[in-house]
Amino acid sequence: MSAAALLKMEGIVKRFPGVVALKGVNFDLHAGEVHALLGENGAGKSTLMKIISGALAPDEGRVYLDGAPVTIASPWHAQSLGISTVYQELSLIPSLSVAENIFLGRLPRRRGIVDWDAVGARAREVLRELDLEELDPWWPVHRLRMAEQQLVEIARVLTWNPKILLLDEPTSALSDHEVQRLFAIIERLRGRGVGIIYVSHRLAEVRRIAHRVTVLRDGRRIATVPMAEVSEAELVRMMVGRDVGDRFAAGAARAGEPLLEIDGLATPTGLDGVRLTVGRGEVLGLFGLIGSGRTELARALFGLDPVTRGSVRVEGRPVDIRSPEDAIRAGLAFVTEDRRQGLVYPLTAGENVTLASLRRFSAWGLLRRRREAREAEAFVKRLRVHPPDPRRQVRFFSGGNQQKVVLAKWLCTGARILILDEPTRGIDVGAKAEVYQIVRQLAEEGSGILLISSDPREVLAVCDRVAVMYRGRVVAELPVDQCTEESLMSVASGLEVPA
């Protein structure tokens, strides 16, 4: 690894109204290095990333590029300096094609007119370099899976040939195969001398890819150490200031009568005769790799995708769910894997909490504001949203607290069956533990929970039973104490046929 300091930051301070997000942080990055940046949600990682990428200006401190002091005035200025960023919250335009997104704002032109042949050819070249030949460059982005959209975002950034690459949770929607593909790309970039800042909550991945790690907590730098000299347990202690441990382990829950019964469900999206039962007071883990049909099942249950055959029963009664409104009326709730789909960011946390339940707070066409505010405040306190201010705009909360607001919104509807799709995607270990505790508490109170995850450790930690999906079917159902990470991955990959 080269000793050249591509980036050096000294004494970085950033203040927002009522909070100091960064408190004298030092950070540096060398050519050909992967430097991991870790911390809980709210620790200051995103603020530091935004300062490097030009989205925010520091209130105090100095930034150096290649040893020279620099003021990064804007994201476009950062791009011109060789700094590119892939944010966790994707910035693609869904209605545009893959090719148009890759070259957005710089489409090749000939005599002042967009050269669409060149756009397609160059897009295919970029996709081929990333082993994404299967993607048609003229597909609209909204037709792509979340993982494919993530890779398109990375492809777009790489066309700028950056010297410094910032990756914010780049694997949060990727399968193991796609993670390996990304790591191969990172290795190629390192070989060219690119410095990479890698933000992730997946500590096992960070240990595999990073050379050094910097841990932030409460806006301060706790430590910068070589990755080889620190354990996962030590990293967690530095991040949260305590031992988290296995506080979210599943209890010995006994499922009550069936709340949700799925019999032979099939859809045009690939489901093929799915059968499942979720009991009262049970957390059923639905494990599967990307493309297994797990999210398609959630969408069909919530009326977002049509059903061609099969039936659904709620508390023993057959239900015909053709829209989300039908699902809500039947007592179902759906927390999507992308929390942006469940929140309205300009609204406050309290307004988001009551958004799906406004009929409960209305009379004669008028909204009872005081009653709505009391209910929102109660849910904010119940789910320990921090800060506990229902009047604060939800966009100013950390990712983990935004996820709690999404959960609160559905609990406010009185839903008895919760479908949680990747409920801890992109949140830190401390926030994960809190979400797991909330899930267990809801089960103890009699809810039935279908927890969908691609992380075997997650389903083993919090669920009572695990169902494994493969190619649109449920191919195994086992009590959690009869599963291991290895056995779940083998079944989900089609390598092992369950007895």
Q: Under CATH, domain 258-492 is a member of which superfamily?
A: P-loop containing nucleotide triphosphate hydrolases (3.40.50.300)
pLDDT tens string 220-269 = 999 999 999 998 888 878 887 755 444 444 444 556 799 999 999 999 98
pLDDT tens string 345-354 = 899 999 999 9
Which DSSP string do the residues of 369-418 spell out, in sequence order?
A: HHHHHHHHHHHHHHTT-SS--TTSBGGGS-HHHHHHHHHHHHHHTT-SEE
Tell me which residue of 170, 168, 173, 192 sits closest to 182, measured CA to CA.
170
Cis geometry, peptide bond prior to residue 306 (ω within 30 degrees of 0): no
Tell me which residue of 412, 148, 464 sits closest to 282, measured CA to CA.
464
Amino acid at 446: G
Give the three-state DSSP class for 368. coil
Between the two ends of the chain, the Cα-to-Cα distance in Å is 49
Question: Over the Cα atoms of the chain, what is R_g?
Answer: 23
| Alpha carbons 415 and 402: distance in angstroms, whole number | 19
Query: Which residue intervals of 250-362 are DSSP H helices?
Result: 294-301, 324-329, 349-353
The pLDDT of residue 464 is above 60: yes
In this structure, how many other beta carbons lie within 10 angstroms of the beta carbon of residue 470?
A: 21
pLDDT, mean of residues 464-469 = 93
Q: Which pLDDT value is given to residue 450?
A: 96
pLDDT, mean of residues 3-27 = 89
Fold: same for 5-240 and 258-492: yes
Q: Which pLDDT value is given to residue 341?
A: 82
How far does CA 19 lie from the centroid of its chain? Answer: 25
pLDDT, mean of residues 66-85 = 94
pLDDT tens string 369-398 = 888 889 899 989 888 888 889 999 998 888
Q: Which pLDDT value is given to residue 1?
A: 43
Of 130 and 114, the structure prediction assigns the larger pLDDT to 114
Helix, strand, coil proportions of the chain in percent (round to 5)?
Answer: 35, 25, 35
Class assignment of domain 5-240? alpha beta
Residues in Cβ contact with 387 at an 8 Å cutoff, skipping those fewer than 6 apart: none
Q: Which pLDDT value is given to residue 163?
A: 95
Q: Which pLDDT value is given to residue 147?
A: 74
pLDDT tens string 273-307 = 999 999 999 999 999 876 788 889 999 999 999 99
Which helix (DSSP H) or strand (DSSP E) does residue 419 occupy?
strand 417-421
Q: Phi, psi at residue 166, to the nearest 5°?
A: -105, 120
Q: Which pLDDT value is given to residue 98?
A: 94
Question: Average pLDDT of the chain?
Answer: 87
Which helix (DSSP H) or strand (DSSP E) does residue 310 occupy?
strand 309-314
Amino acid at 198: Y
Per-domain boundaries in the chain:
5-240, 258-492
Q: Among residues of the chain, what percentage have pLDDT more than 90?
A: 47
Q: Which pLDDT value is given to residue 247?
A: 41
> Is the pTM for the entire model greater than 0.85?
no
pLDDT, mean of residues 315-331 = 93
